[in-house]
């Protein structure tokens, strides 16, 4: 914010006398001009704009009747250079105080008291810094478009109500810190990388996830028509997560000899433990099921025979 010395005065004017700013001010870096005038008569207020401080490119005037209080005028920046002019058209003045202030942000008039609103009629470029402070907040009808790339937007301690609104924002390549926040977002069709993050979900969400995964199925051939000797071990099937607990493991296939096989479990795929799930097969087709599975599973032939076996394991 900057006070103009060239376009401010406190010298009253006589009838038909004119005050014109002593020179143009360069207003290129400002967003708004605010003029305050205290005067005991009416006057004509003129805004003058120029591109070169010589030629007048645009000017506009308004006639002001006598006012008891100081009057404030918010003026739009229209050109590089600006000065004002005041003409005494209502008799001699005894009081004239004029201040011209240039602002880097835009201020909009607001009525006082509860229920006050800010009404912005013209499009507003908020790519710079905009601060709006009103008694009961800001009501926006329509849409606000802004580019905040490379900017820091601090809404800590604030409540931003976008209920019923659609907010589209591209945060690709950005880090979004939502620690301590609750975020409800539709990410259908999107890829979300949460590697290294902690995600807290409700028990209801966990149930939904488990139900969804319960519809998945793993099928593996662990012996494929091969000759198996005593203590011979099948290929390993590794569901890999505890998601498949409380599911069913089914084993089926064919054996050329009567034989006894057992199911082995492991938590690391290296050390296996023979379980109580042991089954005596007669030559021909066989099949059995057990109520749950481990992280890693395989079969082992316990009997002292050599049998050609084809075996499959399903987890579903």
Q: Is the pTM of this model over 0.75?
A: no
Confidence at residue 138, expressed as pLDDT on a 0 to 100 scale:
55
Q: In what order do the strands lie in the sheet with 249-255?
A: 218-228, 307-315, 249-255, 284-290
**CA 297 – CA 280 distance, rounded (Å):** 19
Confidence at residue 12, expressed as pLDDT on a 0 to 100 scale:
95
Percent share of the chain, pLDDT over 70? 63
DSSP structure class, residue 183 = -
**CA 174 – CA 64 distance, rounded (Å):** 53
Q: How confident is the model at residue 300 (pLDDT cuts 50, 70, 90)?
A: very high
Confidence at residue 128, expressed as pLDDT on a 0 to 100 scale:
47
Determine if residue 193 is left, alpha or beta; phi over 0 gives left, psi from -120 to 50 gives alpha, anything else beta.
Answer: beta
Confidence at residue 242, expressed as pLDDT on a 0 to 100 scale:
46
Task: With H, G, I as helix, E, B as strand and everything else as coil, classify residue 188.
Answer: coil
Task: With H, G, I as helix, E, B as strand and everything else as coil, classify residue 7.
Answer: strand
Residue range 155-201, pLDDT digits in tens: 767 777 666 666 666 666 677 767 666 666 666 667 777 777 776 66
Residue range 119-145, pLDDT digits in tens: 454 445 544 445 555 555 555 555 556
Helix H segments across the chain?
203-213
């Amino acid at each position: 914010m900057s006070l103009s010395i060239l376009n401010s005065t406190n010298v009253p004017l006589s009838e038909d006398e004119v005050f014109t700013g002593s020179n143009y001010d360069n207003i290129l870096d400002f967003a708004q001009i605010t003029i305050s005038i205290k005067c005991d008569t009416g006057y004509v207020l003129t805004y003058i704009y120029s591109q070169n401080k010589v030629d007048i490119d645009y000017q506009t005037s308004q006639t002001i009747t006598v006012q008891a209080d100081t009057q404030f005028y918010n003026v739009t920046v229209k050109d590089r250079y600006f000065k004002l002019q005041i003409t005494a058209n209502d008799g001699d003045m005894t009081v004239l105080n004029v201040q011209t202030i240039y602002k880097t942000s835009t201020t909009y008039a607001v009525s006082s008291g509860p229920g006050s609103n800010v009404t912005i009629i013209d499009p507003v470029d908020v790519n710079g810094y905009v601060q709006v402070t009103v008694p009961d907040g800001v009501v926006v009808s329509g849409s606000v478009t802004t580019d905040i790339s490379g900017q820091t937007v601090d809404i800590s301690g604030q409540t931003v109500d976008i209920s019923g609104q659609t907010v589209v924002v591209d945060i690709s390549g950005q880090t979004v810190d939502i620690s301590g926040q609750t975020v409800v977002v539709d990410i259908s069709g999107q890829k979300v990388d949460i590697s290294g993050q902690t995600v807290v979900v409700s028990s209801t969400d966990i149930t939904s996830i488990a139900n969804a995964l319960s519809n998945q199925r793993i099928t593996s051939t662990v012996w494929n028509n091969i000759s198996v000797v005593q203590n011979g071990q099948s290929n390993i099937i590794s569901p890999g997560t505890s998601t498949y607990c409380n599911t069913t493991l089914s084993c089926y296939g064919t054996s050329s000899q009567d034989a006894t096989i057992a199911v082995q479990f492991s938590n690391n795929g290296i050390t296996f433990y023979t379980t109580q799930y042991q089954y005596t097969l007669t030559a021909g087709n066989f099949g059995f099921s057990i109520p749950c599975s481990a992280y890693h599973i395989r079969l082992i032939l316990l009997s002292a025979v050599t049998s050609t076996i084809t075996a499959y394991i399903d987890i579903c």
